Amino acid sequence: MTATLASIWRHPIKAVGREALDRAVLRAGETLPGDRVWAIAHEASKAVDGEWSRCAGFLRAASSPALMAVEARAEGPALHLTHPDRPPLRVDPDAEPEALIAWLEPLVALGRARPARVVRAPDGRGMTDSAAPTITLGNLTSHRVVEGRLGRALSIQRWRCNLWIDGLAPWEEFDLVGRRLRLGGAVLEGVARIDRCESTSASPETGRRDADLLSVLDGFGHRDFTIGVTVIKGGVIAPGDILEAA
């Protein structure tokens, strides 16, 4: 089994924004650096700074699909955020949480709990859906199979995945669970398949629901897409690196 790392993506704020990277320095036992550093707790959430918390306590595209269309770019300690229905915003989530909350408020669906606080994830791990510090790894071939079943092109950003691999057979990524893998200077271990939710129905271009991907996945006998991996040995990774058995 050999495949190639096609792209690296981080999502600075959980469920809000994405940014392509030309390299990343992975560290053992940690998530992708800069990924899901912040999360937006809603008014009913009990999440606190510096502690991992389940996704139900935060804003999510599953219930507010407009969030899917946010783009993010790091600018020093700040983020530059854009959305087709909002003016651009340059904001430091630590120093200007109120500005970030105000910018996001119109993107939260009516009838849903309103954004209330910016929460920072524990050091060394993002506020990922998994209680373990995982990085998501996706297979572009499987993505193309889903596109074929749906009958049209789809943005890979619907899956909010960190590492996209090309060269595997369809669904071969599931076979990587329980195996150790070498990628660039790092060693990873596949730990679990990731089941998907309604967030995948929203277009990353418009923030509107336009594809029932859960029904498409049901047609394959599951609702899983991508896997979670942990970093066993840290190192530098970059697009073009080979993924192979360790």
Tell me: the pLDDT tens digits for 69-112?
999 999 888 999 999 999 999 999 999 999 999 999 999 999 99
Q: Look-up: residue for tokens 């271009």? A: 205
Computed over every residue of the chain, the mean pLDDT equals 96
Q: What is the CA radius of gyration of the chain?
A: 17
Burial 145-160 (b: 16+ CB within 10 A, else e): bbeeeeeeebebbbbb
Domain boundaries, the chain: 2-245
CA atoms of 203 and 157, how far apart (whole Å) = 9
What is the fold of 2-245? M1 Pyruvate Kinase; Domain 3 (2.40.33)
Per-residue pLDDT of the chain (246 residues; tens, 9 = 90+): 789 999 999 999 999 999 999 999 999 999 999 999 999 999 999 999 999 999 999 999 999 999 999 999 998 889 999 999 999 999 999 999 999 999 999 999 999 999 999 999 999 899 999 989 999 999 999 999 999 999 999 999 999 999 999 999 999 999 999 999 999 999 999 999 999 999 999 999 999 999 999 999 999 999 999 999 999 999 999 999 999 999
CA atoms of 24 and 239, how far apart (whole Å) = 10
Q: One-letter amino acid identity for 119?
A: V
